[in-house]
Amino acid sequence: MPARHRRCADRTSGNRNRPDASRAVSVVRSRQNVATGRSRPECRRSSRRTRSSSLPARPSNRRGHSVPVAQLSVYFFLQIAVIIAASQLVGRLAQRVGQPQVVGEMIAGVLLGPSLFGLFLPEVQKALFPKETLGMLYVGAQLGVGLYMFLVGTEFRADHFRNRFRSAASVSAAGIAVPFVLAFMLTPWLQGIPGLFAERVRPFEAALFMGASIAITAFPMLARIIQERGLAGTSLGTLALTAGAVDDAAAWCILAIVLAGFGGSWASAYVAIGGGIGFALFMIFAGSRLLRRLAMHVSPTAPLPTSVLALVLVLFALSAFAMDAIGIHAVFGGFLLGAVLPRGALTQKLREMLQPFTVVFLLPMFFTYSGLNTRLGVLMDPGILLAALVILAASFGGKGIACWAAARASGESKRDAMAIGSLMNARGLMELIIINIGLAAGVILPGLFSILVLMAILSTLMATPLFNFVTRQQPGGAASSV
């Protein structure tokens, strides 16, 4: 054995006498060195690190190096500062041009990714968001979107849903059927374009995923638009939320089927669909009765007891876990819990305590996490650009127009039908969730991911101007149902 190899071997064997954590770090570095072909230089660097192991680890985000666990908080706090500042800045600019702040926050997330920040300052962007820290953002993003959907559920009006069940069912059916018909027509052509679908995805699976992507509604974003426009609790707002919830639940069940078929296990699809229906029925018929006792401990004139807040957060976490574990998504667990909570002082005080922190601190992390996976530069390819134009046309026509027609056929007024069509056409947040899952599962490639991100942004940007245009036609500036 050459001398330099013996020296490295001696140092490697010496790891056996070191603490477990130090030995684990050494093993990880050794594997990284093998992958990058830098065994001899890294051996010397590893030796120097061993001699200075008593000193604090220095973070390094260069390729081939990992960020020490002790330094993750350093990155996290800096990332949060940049994310909140960017979200507030772009969100305020969006409000100045008549868009909801949430639209600006979604755009801010894309701007912080490789599409703009990484395009002009790639080294700075990589230093601020190294890959080793994305796991923290992912957890924060899931917590934020789950809590936000819980708050949305606390404003859900079941009485309006019962009164307008026929319209909600018709709008939901049209918003699902037409997008899937278009998806099955377009998918054979789309699969022939490189960079959109993975090669091992079967045509049926690709069509189902494409249909779910077009049929999805920006449920949380739709809810926030309704909230910012003063529609929360109104008949129109409840109809749009109900139809959006049914559409999204169906799209998630179909996505579970796609992922199950792609992974070769249909049992997971059965668990997802059956478990989701069972959980919803339990929450509606049994959970609501049990939670009434909890509301009795809350007084309208006294602060919310910390014990009640703690119990609600535990129930939220368990609901999110249940839906996530069966393969649907945590957001539906949060929404169902919020929807069955007794209305009154309990839900009002929960919104007062949780909403500011959730909206300002947690939710922007989800937009940023999605933006870090978006590369709009792929649209410069002519084939992908043509596919983007076709997908955008199918998405706008297949969702918005179909929901408008269904609402009119159900007896809704012209203004309400147009308002519902414009709101249902927004996809933002839920679109980002579903395509992130598809990208992580290997169903789609970065080209289609970027197209669908663009579709999510444009469809949501269109929602507010169209809705404002419709409501301005009513004398007094508001639709009759608002």
Using DSSP's 3-state secondary structure scheme, residue 416 falls into helix
Query: What is the chain's mean pLDDT, rounded?
Result: 78
The pLDDT of 182-198, averaged and rounded, is 92
Task: Provide the pLDDT confidence category of residue 475 given band limits of 50, 70 and 90.
Answer: very low
Higher local confidence (pLDDT), 239 or 228: 239
How far apart (Å, rounded) are the C-alpha atoms in residues 338 and 372? 30
pLDDT (tens digit, 9 = 90+) per residue, 334-347? 988 998 999 889 99
Share of the chain above pLDDT 70, in %: 79
Q: Is the pLDDT of residue 355 over 80?
A: yes
Q: Is 195 left (phi over 0), alpha (psi -120 to 50) or beta?
A: left
Contact partners, residue 363, CB within 8 Å, separation at least 6: 102, 105, 144, 145, 148
The token duo for 77 is 């706090």
Q: Which residues pair with 197 in a beta bridge?
A: 444
Task: Provide the pLDDT confidence category of residue 162 given band limits of 50, 70 and 90.
Answer: low
The token duo for 94 is 């969006």
Higher local confidence (pLDDT), 165 or 95: 95
The token duo for 354 is 């949780």
pLDDT for 163: 63
pLDDT for 111: 93
To the question of pTM greater than 0.75 for the whole model, the response is no
Q: Would you mind telling me the total number of residues written for the chain in this entry?
A: 482
Q: Is the pLDDT of residue 331 over 70?
A: yes
Query: 110 with 371: CB under 8 angstroms?
Result: yes
Axis-axis angle for helices 165-190, 382-395 (nearest 10): 160
DSSP 373-385: T--GGGGGSHHHH
Question: What burial letters (b/e) apply to 276-314, b meaning 16+ CB within 10 Å?
Answer: beebbeebeeebeeebeeeeeebeeeeebeeebbeebee
Task: Residue 451: name the closest of 377, 369, 358 by CA.
Answer: 377
Place of tokens 């390729």: 63
Task: Residue 425: name the closest of 441, 404, 452 by CA.
Answer: 404
DSSP 141-165: HHHHHHHHHHHHHHT--HHHHHHTH
pLDDT for 202: 86
In order of 81, 93, 219, 375, the CA distances from 85 in angstroms are 6, 12, 25, 22
Task: Residue 144: name the closest of 83, 214, 86 by CA.
Answer: 83
The pLDDT of 60-84, averaged and rounded, is 79
In the chain, the amino acid numbered 153 is G
DSSP 287-303: IHHHHHHHHTT--TTSP
Query: 370 with 109: CB under 8 angstroms?
Result: yes
For the chain, give the longest Cα–Cα distance: 90
